[in-house]
Structure 1
Amino acid sequence: MTERSPLIYLRGYAGPPSGVDKQVDDPFYGLNSGATHIRVDGDGAPCFYQFEGPLLRLMIDEDYELLVRGDQHAYLEAQDDGTIPAESVWVFRFYDYAASTFGTSVAAAPETFDLERAAERLYDFVQLVRRKTGAVKVHLVAHSMGGLVARCMIQKVSHTADPSSGTPRVPGAELVDKFFTYGTPHGGISFDVGGGLVDWAMETFGPAGSEMFAPARMYTYLTPGASDGEEPPAGWQPQHIPDSAFDAKRVFCLVGTNAADYGLVEKAVGPRSDGLVHIDNAYVHQAHRAYVHRSHSGRYGLVNSEEGYQNLRRFLFGKYQVRVDLCHLALRWRPGAAETVWQAEARLSVRGLPVLLHEQTAAHYCPIQLNQEAVQHADADGQVAPVPLATAFLLDPERARARSENQSPNRSRYTLGLRVFHLVERSGRFFWEDHLEQVADWEDTLIVDVGHPDQAPDSGLQAWAAWNSEVAGEVDRVDPIRSDPCSLTAEDGELHTDIALPEPACPLLGAESCLRLTVSRVS
């Protein structure tokens, strides 16, 4: 097993002082909460499914320890350096300083919450965890605003000298290995409607909260040297992490798409959100991300979900990374004055799991807009570069042993279901006369096995791939999914192969269109 890193969890925004006092009563800030519902069953109603919560599940699946002993921070400080297991989970309780329920045992008086001060304390806490565990780096796992506290530490605080001593701090990229966020408003929080609902939402956040997610304030706490009141320069984007601060490829953003389960604030934010954070604001540019039909928080929320945990576990501890891109896209343009809008839907599943790990659909307000992707990824000559569809992280098959005699312990399997369909616009409105609702122009599922042949389990990494339409009989009885592995080409530490689309897709997406499968070991 490769060297492990300690995990540090950060919770989201707690609201005004009364909300802070309520949240600090929970020993783990709510990050231990589980759930007993899968959102929808075959009849359209929630059904029983017992999820232990991410903290307990990590102890079960990955042998991590949650060390508390009355006061997790005090216990950590009291141990000798290098004596605590790296496989440990820590909850950064940054709100304790703003609570009024602890007397003077935490702070002489409750503080007004300040995000940058919380980020400075996070830096100190990360250093403490590293020293006591002997770990080189930590993993940060954050819900909602906690992700902005982490980004402030990584992008600004760690690049600023300690004000008390003048000593330069260690850059965040040298402290943090991987960074996972649940529903973090990386692009801020905005509202679709005005009036009383916005007033209600601002009252719920409190004046500090409403200002905290505005671009100008985000620029202040995400940029070294920036001071309060300073306007961001033209073109500055809060969702961009500079390469000099942290590699965005070591970030994973879980994006919620279920606004309906969050409550009244959804009416102000709009349906294209998790109920609080817009879908387009919930990720970092160039980072890995997955879309799941969960709300911002609560019993149907991201943190309380099997979908969230399985994405987290695989990103942190996966052995293989498999990326799928759509190459040589050349959309078919229908004749006439009408504009054809092409969209795709993608669903990613992994063998052995009861949930989808990624789901981009029109019904959830997040289909892949192929027209926009074609323009966005086109070069100066109009040639379309590969369009990213999905990235899967797969566990070592030895650590996720097959449960069926039909499945090999030497391979991991995942599938990517694709649907492509078109809509017709005239004068800015959809034109329905020729429309067939829910009928895709093309759909199929790519099945991918990654690992080693049973006859040579110690050989080099290989991949097998086939379209579901090509497989006769039950898919789970065919392993690997085809007899011959893909011919993989090595390039820049990765292996890739092009998989031709089934013939019915070619008139829609281009005669030379294909999926590029890229496989690599996780570093």
Structure 2
Amino acid sequence: MDPLTAPYFPIIYVRGYAMTANEIADTVATPYMGFNLGSTKLRQAWDGTVRRHVFESPLVRLMKDYGYRDVYADGSEISGELPARSVVIYRYYETADTDLGDGKVLSIVEAATGLRDLIRQLRDQVCGTDAARKKAFRVYLVAHSMGGLVCRSFLQNDKISTGADRAMVDKVFTYATPHNGIEMVGFNVPAVLGLWDMNNFNRKNMAGYLGLKGTPERVDTLDGKFDPQRFFCFVGTNHRDYEAALGISRKLAGEMSDGLVKIENATVSEAPRAFAYRSHSGVYGVVNSEEGYQNLVRFLFGDMRVDGVLEVDVLPLPASVQKAKDDGKQVRASYYFEATVAPRGTNSYRLTERRRDTFSAILRGFDELLRPDNAGLAAPRSPVLFSAFLDTSKITSGNTVVFSVELTVSTTGYTIDNKLWLDKHVEGEYLFRDTVVVRATRSGDGWNVRYVLADEQSSEGLGTLAESRPEGYLIPLSSQKGFKGRLRLTVQRPVPAGG
């Protein structure tokens, strides 16, 4: 048997929702159910410009980069011993095909039960009768769209899985999963809409198959059944390129979505997440994207995690707005925070990007940031800009991890005595804008973190040593307009694989 060593555990891919009988038939007729689909097109700019970029597919790249293999031989799945580095496609739609099954579409609970059985079977195929290997066995679940709900039903529903079953799952990665349901024109899919099983995305029904108690307003919690730090959510922000249902879906889902799933519904509470200008599926979809793959492998195999939070001290007002405030008029404002993170050595992808252009920027009110008592908060609601997983084995030069954070702060506009301030407003003006280049070198049990503000200095410079505090590494930020704050970075090892 091949070694069963972290972090290279078997991967099970759970595909998403197939609506019609024809879509189900097409799905069942393919061996990899979409995990083998790549793309040669990359959106280069928000104006729709396209350039050629070959992404071979997650399956092929896992084979080429990490030595994984599929589990097919001689026209069927291998029933005997399997290597640890195997990619297994969970074919739960096969029963719904009239050629290969009985034509019955499995419910989420039935599909989740089948996933449990598949994990147990895979353990036996990888470990045989070796008790020590069985104890060390772990699996990764990688899922698209509704497949992520199948995974969560398995992990959260006590009627389906036991603690021992869940312990075999090391990490979960979801692409564009509607963790808090699907909304069309602002309304959750009705519970009575049984056509094509669309009621799977109704929050009341979701609470049932996820094992949540009562009728919660939101169902995007793992409910203590699985560590959210082992659960990653990859979120698409491009609704324009989603072509399903002749484009009707993207019109109903609207902006701030991937064409089907609203951005605010595509994550699990407290779980790390990344955002990319990708649609729910298709040529510009989340699964067949370089961005999705790079986040996937760094989350599964990486040895470094960096979280960035922006702490705000001063948000300056334009002179005329400040005068109105000094004269006793009521001034209200909210702010956009944009952040794009990219590792050194790439120009074809970003690990995450939250931008106004794609309606994925973080929005905060003035009181949330600087007067939390007025907003009913115990502390400022500082925006969490990113959670980036990195891999020191991918360092291109020396022994230092280098990545950039393009960071901007702007206002949505000001209201003075409940009237929008337009006389001197200039659209596109920023309170702060710079590219922070971070250089992190391992030093004993910790890190040596340096930074360069690259809008005014060369990114190749050694930079300035970040202040190290118990709460993280602090990088001061300011602008001539009067903005003041700091980027707080926490640098740590991810939750260990197999731990």
Task: Tell me what 1:90 maps to.
Answer: 88
1:40 to 19, 41, 44: 44
Task: Tell me what 2:279 maps to.
Answer: 295
- Secondary structure of 1:118 counterpart: helix
Question: Which ranges in structure 1 are unaligned for 5 or more consecutive residues?
Answer: 162-167, 227-231, 454-458
Deviations 1:85-120 (A, max 9, x none): 212111111100111122xxxx4x221331110100
- CA change 1:385–1:46 in 2 (3 A) is closer
Distance in 1 (alpha carbons) for counterparts of 2:383 and 2:414: 22
Are 1:424 and 2:414 matched, yes or no? yes
| 1:303 shift after superposition | 0.6
Q: Which moved more, 1:126-135 or 1:413-422?
A: 126-135
Q: Which moved more, 1:302-311 or 1:329-338?
A: 329-338
- CA change 1:463–1:373 in 2 (3 A) is farther
- CA change 1:373–1:347 in 2 (3 A) is farther
Q: 2:220 is aligned with what amino acid?
A: Q
Q: 2:209 is aligned with what amino acid?
A: Y
Task: Tell me what 1:269 maps to.
Answer: 253
| 1:401 shift after superposition | 4.3
- Secondary structure of 1:301 counterpart: coil
Task: Tell me what 2:218 maps to.
Answer: 237
- RMSD (Å) for aligned C-alpha atoms: 2.8
Distance in 2 (alpha carbons) for counterparts of 1:427 and 1:97: 62
Q: 1:179 is aligned with what amino acid?
A: V
Task: Tell me what 2:332 maps to.
Answer: 339
- Secondary structure of 2:403 counterpart: strand
Deviations 1:53-107 (A, max 9, x none): 00111111222222211456x41x333xxxx3212111111100111122xxxx4
1:415 to 395, 404, 407: 404
Q: Is the 8 A contact 1:283 1:289 kept in 2?
A: yes
| 1:298 shift after superposition | 0.2
Task: Tell me what 1:50 maps to.
Answer: 54
Are 1:356 and 2:356 matched, yes or no? no
Written as runs of structure 1 = structure 2, the 5 A alignment for 1:249-328 is: 249-263=229-243, 264=247, 265-327=249-311
Written as runs of structure 1 = structure 2, the 5 A alignment for 1:335-484 is: 335=325, 336-353=329-346, 354-371=348-365, 374=368, 378=372, 383-384=379-380, 386-396=382-392, 399-402=393-396, 407-408=397-398, 410-422=399-411, 423-425=413-415, 430-452=420-442, 459-469=444-454, 472-473=457-458, 475=459, 477-478=460-461, 481-482=462-463
- CA change 1:426–1:486 in 2 (3 A) is closer
Task: Tell me what 1:215 maps to.
Answer: 203
Distance in 2 (alpha carbons) for counterparts of 1:50 and 1:87: 24
- Secondary structure of 2:401 counterpart: strand
- Secondary structure of 1:116 counterpart: helix
| 1:18 shift after superposition | 2.1
Task: Tell me what 1:9 maps to.
Answer: 13
Written as runs of structure 1 = structure 2, the 5 A alignment for 1:97-246 is: 97-102=95-100, 107=101, 109-134=102-127, 136-156=137-157, 159-160=158-159, 169-192=162-185, 207-223=195-211, 232-233=214-215, 235-243=216-224, 245-246=225-226
Distance in 2 (alpha carbons) for counterparts of 1:260 and 1:420: 25
- CA change 1:311–1:96 in 2 (3 A) is same
- CA change 1:314–1:428 in 2 (3 A) is farther
Distance in 2 (alpha carbons) for counterparts of 1:302 and 1:448: 27
| 1:371 shift after superposition | 1.4
- Secondary structure of 1:501 counterpart: strand
Distance in 1 (alpha carbons) for counterparts of 2:13 and 2:151: 10
Q: Is the 8 A contact 1:377 1:386 kept in 2?
A: no
- CA change 1:150–1:382 in 2 (3 A) is closer
Distance in 2 (alpha carbons) for counterparts of 1:66 and 1:113: 24
| 1:330 shift after superposition | 5.3
Distance in 2 (alpha carbons) for counterparts of 1:97 and 1:182: 24
Moved over 6 A (4+): none
1:497 to 466, 469, 473: 473
- CA change 1:368–1:467 in 2 (3 A) is farther
| 1:415 shift after superposition | 1.1
| 1:414 shift after superposition | 1.1
Distance in 1 (alpha carbons) for counterparts of 2:307 and 2:13: 27
- CA change 1:419–1:140 in 2 (3 A) is same
| 1:184 shift after superposition | 0.3
Task: Tell me what 1:165 maps to.
Answer: none
| 1:472 shift after superposition | 3.3
Written as runs of structure 1 = structure 2, the 5 A alignment for 1:11-30 is: 11-30=15-34
Distance in 2 (alpha carbons) for counterparts of 1:434 and 1:471: 28
- Secondary structure of 1:94 counterpart: coil
- CA change 1:305–1:17 in 2 (3 A) is same
| 1:340 shift after superposition | 1.6
Distance in 2 (alpha carbons) for counterparts of 1:185 and 1:42: 24
- Secondary structure of 2:184 counterpart: coil
Q: Is the 8 A contact 1:462 1:486 kept in 2?
A: no
Distance in 2 (alpha carbons) for counterparts of 1:117 and 1:31: 22
- CA change 1:372–1:96 in 2 (3 A) is farther
Deviations 1:265-290 (A, max 9, x none): 11111122100001111111111111
Q: 2:493 is aligned with what amino acid?
A: R
- Secondary structure of 1:311 counterpart: helix
Work out the percentage of aligned pairs sharing the same amino acid: 31
| 1:209 shift after superposition | 2.6
Q: Is the 8 A contact 2:70 2:87 kept in 1?
A: yes
Q: Which moved more, 1:179-188 or 1:360-369?
A: 360-369
- CA change 1:52–1:328 in 2 (3 A) is same
Written as runs of structure 1 = structure 2, the 5 A alignment for 1:62-81 is: 62-70=66-74, 74-75=77-78, 77-79=79-81
Q: Is the 8 A contact 1:155 1:172 kept in 2?
A: no
Q: Is the 8 A contact 1:420 1:442 kept in 2?
A: yes
> Would you tell me which structure has more strand in proportion to its own residues?
2
Distance in 1 (alpha carbons) for counterparts of 2:120 and 2:46: 48
Calculate the TM-score normalised by the size of structure 1: 0.82
| 1:362 shift after superposition | 1.1
| 1:497 shift after superposition | 1.8
- CA change 1:296–1:31 in 2 (3 A) is same
Task: Tell me what 1:519 maps to.
Answer: 491
Q: Which moved more, 1:118-127 or 1:208-217?
A: 208-217
| 1:485 shift after superposition | 4.5
Question: Which ranges in structure 2 are unaligned for 5 or more consecutive residues?
Answer: 128-135
What count of residue pairs does the alignment treat as equivalent? 464
Distance in 2 (alpha carbons) for counterparts of 1:171 and 1:214: 29
Distance in 2 (alpha carbons) for counterparts of 1:290 and 1:381: 26
Deviations 1:158-193 (A, max 9, x none): x226xxxxxx83445412111111100001001117
| 1:360 shift after superposition | 0.9
Q: Is the 8 A contact 1:306 1:355 kept in 2?
A: yes
| 1:146 shift after superposition | 0.3
